[in-house]
Amino acid sequence: MNVGDRFWSELQDWRRDFHAHPEFGFEEHRTSRLVAERLRSFGVDDVVEGVGGSGVVATLRRGGAGRSIALRADMDALRIAEQGELGHASRNPGLMHACGHDGHTTMLLGAARILTAQGGFDGTVRFIFQPAEEWGKGALAMLGDGLLERFPFDEIYGLHNLPGVGVGTLLARGGAVMSAEDNFDIVLTGVGGHASRPDAGREVMVAACSLVLGLQTIVSRRLAPDETAVVSVTELVTDGTRNVLPGMARIRGDARTFHPDASRAIEAEIRRIATGTAAGYGVRCDIAYTREFVPTVNDGSAAAAALRAARVTPGIDHVIETFAANPASEDFARFLQHVPGCFVFIGNGEASPPLHHPRYDFNDLALRGGTNFLVQLARDRLPIGADVHPGALR
């Protein structure tokens, strides 16, 4: 096929259509249907829908080599009301592609189309379109649905756009590149009452405010100075009103870490501080602590392979291999617990609004570099004329 301006224009149209029709996790029915229809129209060997709920897995085989790699994109949107006047703005109220998954899905479709038409590799490529990345359940759902047994692969690669970094820039390295995410939910229960008589009950507002401040000391006073971690309170909800002292306060938030020991230390400190604060104010405390995301840890050899591919990819002009880990979290990490792989970042433009911002939009200029990178990576890892790549990870 001729990969010219018409091809990139069509990919842009697909991306904007996905953006205009965002769907929440495990509800990506229109998106997954269109993905499957387009994959079949390309002539991909096998397309399976409904993997892990609303996921799609496509398989493309060329030659006789036994090795296989997987390329993954996420499809879900966020519960955010879009702002701005884009012609392709969300048509689904309260839902928005504010993280660029519309672009990720489109780039993987573009790579599948090129590889199906042109080949240039020897082995098997699995195209994984994952649901429900944003709340950390989609990868586990696909794994629980037998992804590794039904569609085995030796390596896996994924990418994410990065606002604030120029289009045409790719970042990759081995080791931890994104953090774990833990969630906590603390409920303080006392006795509310009239705002004029705090002495008549055990109101919880002052206790809750004290607890919020106390939680801010965990990273600064209980973790080693060289330990990267974040503890954030994101919600404080009570049952009070203007002249009513609350008898219940709920404090929710999350913790970001890169090592299990830090996660365990933070949980222990949250429980200690919350229990002590509640006792000091004479109220009851109930604590729930869950681990939603694990750290994203790239395999060193896979990262080296990604960097080699990026350096010869049309549309990638700048490659960075030294950068700080990102304290955000990524569901792709679940796959890396089972097979080696690498998660890379591509620039979305220096002027791009941040991820999860109501005016964010994926930069269509990044489609070319991202799509070409996935194609180059598949050809590099599954070279014609070799059953096992010299740099095979296994």
DSSP state string for 339-355 = S-EEEEEEE--TTPPPT
Side chain identity, residue 81: A
Determine the pLDDT at residue 394: 44
In terms of pTM, does the model score above 0.85? yes
Does residue 228 share a domain with residue 133? no
The token duo for 245 is 């002292």
Regions of the chain short of the pLDDT cut 70: 1, 386-394
In a domain, 235, yes or no: yes
Residues 156 and 282 grouped into a single domain: no
Q: Does 311 lie in the same domain as 285?
A: no
For residue 385, the model assigns a pLDDT of: 84
- Number of separate domains in the chain: 2
Q: What are phi and psi of 20, to 5 degrees?
A: -75, -15
Query: In terms of Cα–Cα distance, which of 134, 118, 136 is closest to 371?
Result: 118
SS3 242: coil
- Whether residues 150 and 38 share a domain: the answer is yes
| pLDDT (0 to 100) of residue 393 | 53
392 domain-assigned: no
Q: Indicate the residue among 293, 315, 336 that finishes a domain.
A: 293
pLDDT of residue 98: 98
Domain residues for the domain of 145 are 5-178+296-381
Domain co-membership, 174 together with 34:
yes
Residues 305-316: pLDDT tens digits?
A: 999 999 999 999
Same domain, 31 and 159: yes
Residue 391 is assigned to a structural domain of this protein: no
Q: Where residue 48 sits, what CATH number does that domain have?
A: 3.40.630.10
- Please tell me the predicted confidence (pLDDT) of residue 2: 72
Tens of pLDDT along 77-119? 999 999 999 999 999 999 999 999 999 999 999 999 999 999 9
Residue 322 in tokens: 């030294």
367 domain-assigned: yes
d(CA 238, CA 220): 28
Q: How deeply is 107 buried, as exposed, middle or buried, from its count of CB atoms within 10 A (0-12, 13-18, 19+)?
A: buried
Domain-located, residue 394: no
Q: Among 293, 318, 335, where does a domain finish?
A: 293
Please, are residues 204 and 210 in contact by the beta-carbon 8 Å criterion? no
The single-letter code of the amino acid at 47 is V
Burial class (CB in 10 A: 0-12, 13-18, 19+), 224: exposed
Question: What is the rounded distance in angstroms from the CA atom of residue 23 to the CA atom of residue 43?
Answer: 26
- Provide the CATH number for the domain around residue 233: 3.30.70.360
272-291 as b/e, with b when 16 or more CB fall inside 10 Å?
Answer: ebbeebbeebebebeeebeb
> Are residues 56 and 146 both part of a single domain?
yes
242 and 321 within one domain: no
Q: Is 142 within a domain?
A: yes
- Domain limit, last residue, from 275, 293, 311: 293
Beta bridge partners of 380: none
